[in-house]
Homo-oligomer: A and B are copies of this chain.
Amino acid sequence: MTRLRVPVQLRWSDMDAYGHVNNVELLRLLEEARIEAFWAHPAPADPLGEGAAPATADRETWPTAVLDAGPGARTATLVARQEVEYLRPLGYRRTPVVVDMWIGHLGGASIDVCYEVHDASPDEAAAGAPGPYARAVTTLVLVDAASGAPRRIGETERAAWLPYVEEPPTFRRRGR
C-alpha cells in the first residue's frame, strides 16, 4: 500500500462559527494536498520563476508531481466530480493534518484522486486511534489548455502515477 502523505497546515480562519473546520474548507485542504502531490515544481503559475522562490531542502518533492498544470501551462486540470464523507469534526490545531492520497482510477484522460485526512501517521492511527476525519475522491480531467479538449495521460505521467493506484475508499453512505 503506497500512499502519498502530505501534511497540510490549517489556518485559524478554516473554522466557521461552529468552531470546527468548515466542511467546504476541508475541500480546500484537499486541494492544497493535491496540488502539492501532483503539480510539477515550480508551479507554472508562479510568475516569479525558479530563481525567486527556489525549492528548499525542507520541501519534499513527490515523484507524482509531474503535472505541468496551473494557469499559463499547456495542461489545465478540471475538477469534474468530488465526493466527500465527513467522519468526525476536525478542530483547529497548530500541527498540520496529514492528507493520505492515492489514485483510485487511472483512466485515459482522467484520474480519481482519493484522500483520507488523518491526525498523523497511519501507524498512530493503527494504535487505537479514532480513524480518519474524512474520506474523499476527486475526479480530475486533463485538458489541453489551448484547445480545451481532454488530452490523454502521457507515458511519463502514467509511469509516475501507476505505483499509487489502489482501490478507492468505501463510503459508508451513498446516494440512494
Tally of chain A residues near chain B (CB < 8 A)? 61
Which residues of chain A have a CB within 8 Å of any CB of chain B? 9, 11-13, 15-20, 22-24, 27-28, 31-32, 35-36, 41-43, 45-48, 52-56, 59, 70-71, 76, 78-86, 89, 91-95, 104-105, 112, 119, 137, 139, 168, 171, 173, 175-176
CB-CB nearest in chain B for A138 = B23
Q: Which residues of B contact A47 (CB under 8 A)?
A: 19-20, 89, 91-92
Closest Cβ of chain B to A81, distance in Å, is: 5
CB pair B23 A11 closer than 8 Å: no
CA distance A100 to B89 in the complex (A): 28
Chain B nearest CB, measured from A63 CB (Å): 16
Q: Which of B20, B23, B94 contacts A53 (CB under 8 A)?
A: B94
Query: What CA separation (Å) do A27 and B79 show in the bound complex?
Result: 13
Closest to A44 in B: B92
Contacting pair A86 B95 (CB below 8 A) = no
Check A86–B91 contact: CB distance below 8 A: no
B contact residues around A15 at 8 Å (CB):
16-17, 45
Question: Could you give 20 example pairs across A and B, Cβ below 8 Å?
Answer: A13-B22, A13-B31, A17-B71, A19-B45, A23-B82, A36-B94, A42-B94, A43-B93, A43-B94, A46-B91, A53-B93, A53-B94, A53-B119, A56-B95, A81-B86, A82-B82, A82-B83, A83-B84, A168-B175, A171-B175
Q: A90: nearest residue on chain B (CB-CB)?
A: B48
